[in-house]
Structure 1
Amino acid sequence: MQKTLASLALAQQALLAYANQPLGLTQCEMNCQRPGDLPCPDRNNDGLAETSCSNTSRIGRLPWKTLGVGDIRDGSGERLWYAVSERYKNNPRILPLNTDTAGSWSVISINEINWDATQGNGVVAVIIAPMQPLIRKDGWAQQRNDASADDIKNYLDTTDAGDNANAFENSLRGFVQGPISINFNDVVWPVTATIMHRHMQQQVLSEVKRALRCNASPCAALPTAAAISDSSCLGGQSLVAGQCSPALSGLGRLPLDAAAHWPLALQHILDGDARHHWFQQNGWREQVFYQPASPHAIVVMAGEKLTSQSRNTTLEKSNITAYLEASTLQKLQILNSNAMDIASNDSFER
């Protein structure tokens, strides 16, 4: 079990590293690489992710060669199995993908529901150690040889609560965690949306900070922030002159700067053109806040929405407290009596 848990932890680390690959400033017209991307499963046991994963092919083995790690195996010597969420798969991509994107797999225990995709609390991926072969509760005797290597029932088990070999996405009939018994020994490791969102948050913050950094001398004054109430800043559509424009002093969203004050603005993640980059395509402008100042601007990356925060409607998205908590606003010297006075998950840098 110690080896199994170490292998599962290594697999999660490899998936998070894959989702955090460098993005750079390369333009992309379709199916652009983005923070949070995960590979499709390996469906033929060659260690390589399939080039795409449709509705029927998002469960398979962990693509260890694609992830750039060794042939990870559990304590019984079996390769790990893996399921990826439809919203996080890297081909074909579904837009948008940001920290408001829930996972689509449920993981339940024998006694309670731990992650419920039907309530927006699903996980983004599931890694499973199949352990030794056994007789499943439905009477299926697992056989593991070359002829049966692609039959998932020969590796994953079933309980009264569900069948890991027959899991359904966006449903309560997802994957099952349970105590080891003579009929069940799967070790199920969920990759939660929260841990993925933290990594995505830090990567986007780093990319935006790099985009704003001035290497010239002297540096041009940064443009005024766009009003949080400007609904044209929302969504993943391309922006044109007059949308998301500078309207307020102080804290706001990143504006569309027609004067091209942004460095490299014509080929840049902040240029507002959804044809070019992951930033606009995936609605990240909604979740990044900006306070121009001298000598340092401040960039604030909103964290995953917390309980009692809602970002569903245009009106809700126009309220700063739907994104930032009281402690974050206090650091920015902004008083808002409606802000949530709880532990913040926001990040910001000068």
Structure 2
Amino acid sequence: MIKPLNIHNVPKDTNKQNGQALIILLILLVTGTTSLFVHSVNTNKLNNERDKKTYESLAKAKVALMGQAIMWNYGNGRPGDLPCPDLNDDGVAETSCGNSDGSTGQAYRIGRLPWKTLGLPDLRDGDGERLWYAVSNNFKNNTRTTCTALSSAGCLNSNTIGTISTRQSNGQLILDASSGNNGAIAVILAPGKILRRQGAASDQDRSCTGANCKTYDPCTTSPASLTPKCNPINYLDKGNGEDNASFIDGTADGFISGNIASTSQPNTLIVNDKLLTITASELTPLLEKRVAGEVLACLSNYASGNGGRYPWAAKMNASSAPAYADTTDTLFGRLPDTPFTNTNISNPSMGINWICNIASNSYWWLNWKESVFYGLGNAYKPANTTTPPGIDVYINPTTTLSNKQVVVIIAGKPLSGQSRTTNSDKANPANYLEGFNTGATSTFQKDVATSTFNDYLLFQ
């Protein structure tokens, strides 16, 4: 279980340092969580050093992939971006991995783990083979799904689901991505030793053939899969109706974990691939923490340059979407777009732009802006006032922290009964927030995630 970080505030004069500290804390959290994987595997699967090495390599790969998704850069990067696979065995992620499903797009989203891109050593499984990797169309970093409007299917945020199905060795679905269900966002595979795939006439061929091709050099043919050592069918297996050398997003056609024996020859393996997945339920809470930290740091930075005051929030109403304008006397709503107009009218000495990486046309911000909410204390609004002094934050089970300046809330994925389709839906806080947060008053709730509450809140 991933536990929320206990980060309560971001000091005003340490914006950059706090952003870096947040990254470090998140990476430590991912590392600590994923390192438990090896110990959680049934002990009969770790009965020799070969299996132990396999599972340790899978766990290290998962840590690195999740860390990269969290440590996104600005510019055109998005929180949650995962690299394309390595198709030619040079350890480097390909620059693009397809736009669509089926025989074209999916073929580019399965390959070897790009270990050099991830800053990893040359990870191997217990049989000395490099790891393989598949990435969901929703999370690949290029060509990205297009986020052109709020709540677009192409946006990557708390609403985004994984699209890859996985099965246990008996064929039963573990993660079912069909019919819009949440599947894996990435699958890491340890291919194991050479065997004969189900229905094949000969054993897998992992040789290196062709001009300038050597065992430890990249495949030079185009496409790389023409070289046996870069063709997934020579490493990834087939059994119980599932072929690990291919998958189709959003369907039950995904990956299956071994070991699986031949029905006609019970002592002969047809699948020995080992799988480890990354799911949205694991990654998304960490992305929400990163985004919340960025927003709070941005607010802190702005206030430090504007007399300790913050801009008006953007009013939630059906006519405002997708533009979020700062609105006079609005203490809670969405984070406003720049330039601020009403803030400057209320207090002409205040700046009209954010002093940070959040901008109205920033690509990463477009993915998240609908899910981010912001409240400010009465004493910290643009117009002068003294009472009431600030915001109360209720923390489960009984503690109330009073007189806070500002809160940032990231709305989690839609829960039962919440709809975010129409502009009218988007104007209703109850379609995003739960508990005290739905009322949008001066008291807000910070609590653990449950089936009925999944807001993530930071405050200062």
Check if 1:160 corresponds to 2:211: no
Deviations 1:276-311 (A, max 9, x none): 34102x1x1210111111451101111223344332
Please report how far the alpha carbon of residue 170 of structure 1 lies from its aligned counterpart in structure 2 after TM superposition.
Answer: 2.5
Q: 1:15 aligns with which of 65, 68, 90?
A: 65
Q: 1:232 aligns with which of 320, 329, 338?
A: 320
Check if 1:271 corresponds to 2:359: yes
Conserved? CA contact 2:123–2:131, under 8 Å: yes
Check if 1:249 corresponds to 2:339: no
Task: State the alpha-carbon separation in 2 of the partners of residues 328 and 71 from structure 1.
Answer: 47
Q: Which amino acid aligns with 2:53?
A: K
Query: Which position in structure 1 is the counterpart of 2:187?
Result: 126
3-state DSSP class of the match of 1:74? coil
Query: Which position in structure 1 is the counterpart of 2:165?
Result: 106
Query: Which position in structure 1 is the counterpart of 2:396?
Result: none
Conserved? CA contact 2:237–2:245, under 8 Å: yes
Query: Which position in structure 1 is the counterpart of 2:53?
Result: 3
Gaps of 5+ in 2: 1-50, 99-104, 148-154, 210-227, 262-268, 378-389, 391-403
Q: 1:69 aligns with which of 120, 136, 150?
A: 120
3-state DSSP class of the match of 1:349? strand
For the pair shown, which has the larger CA radius of gyration, 1 or 2? 2
Please report how far the alpha carbon of residue 321 of structure 1 lies from its aligned counterpart in structure 2 after TM superposition.
Answer: 2.3
Q: Per residue, is there more helix in 1 or in 2?
A: 2
Conserved? CA contact 1:226–1:248, under 8 Å: no
Check if 1:325 corresponds to 2:413: no
3-state DSSP class of the match of 2:70? coil
Please report how far the alpha carbon of residue 61 of structure 1 lies from its aligned counterpart in structure 2 after TM superposition.
Answer: 0.3
3-state DSSP class of the match of 1:210? helix
Conserved? CA contact 2:113–2:132, under 8 Å: yes
Deviates further, 58-67 or 70-79: 70-79
Query: Which position in structure 1 is the counterpart of 2:88?
Result: 44
Q: 1:289 aligns with which of 354, 361, 373?
A: 373
Conserved? CA contact 1:87–1:93, under 8 Å: yes
Deviates further, 292-301 or 172-181: 172-181
Query: Which position in structure 2 is the counterpart of 1:187?
Result: 274
Deviations 1:216-236 (A, max 9, x none): 3662532232222345344xx
Please report how far the alpha carbon of residue 146 of structure 1 lies from its aligned counterpart in structure 2 after TM superposition.
Answer: 1.7
Task: State the alpha-carbon separation in 2 of the partners of residues 130 and 335 from structure 1.
Answer: 49
Number of matched residues?
330
Deviations 1:259-288 (A, max 9, x none): 47987826644432x2x34102x1x12101
Check if 1:346 corresponds to 2:405: no
Q: Which amino acid aligns with 1:7?
A: S
Task: State the alpha-carbon separation in 2 of the partners of residues 341 and 114 from structure 1.
Answer: 21
Check if 1:89 corresponds to 2:140: yes
Question: Cα–Cα, structure 1 residues 216 and 198, in superposed 2: closer, same or farther, change >3 Å?
Answer: closer
Q: 2:310 aligns with which of 206, 222, 238?
A: 222
Check if 1:209 corresponds to 2:290: no
Q: Which amino acid aligns with 1:299?
A: V
Check if 1:57 corresponds to 2:108: yes
Conserved? CA contact 2:434–2:453, under 8 Å: yes
Q: TM-score, normalised by structure 1?
A: 0.84
Q: TM-score, normalised by structure 2?
A: 0.65
Query: Which position in structure 1 is the counterpart of 2:37?
Result: none
Question: Cα–Cα, structure 1 residues 2 and 312, in superposed 2: closer, same or farther, change >3 Å?
Answer: farther
Deviates further, 143-152 or 200-209: 143-152
Check if 1:200 corresponds to 2:300: no
Gaps of 5+ in 1: none
Please report how far the alpha carbon of residue 201 of structure 1 lies from its aligned counterpart in structure 2 after TM superposition.
Answer: 0.7
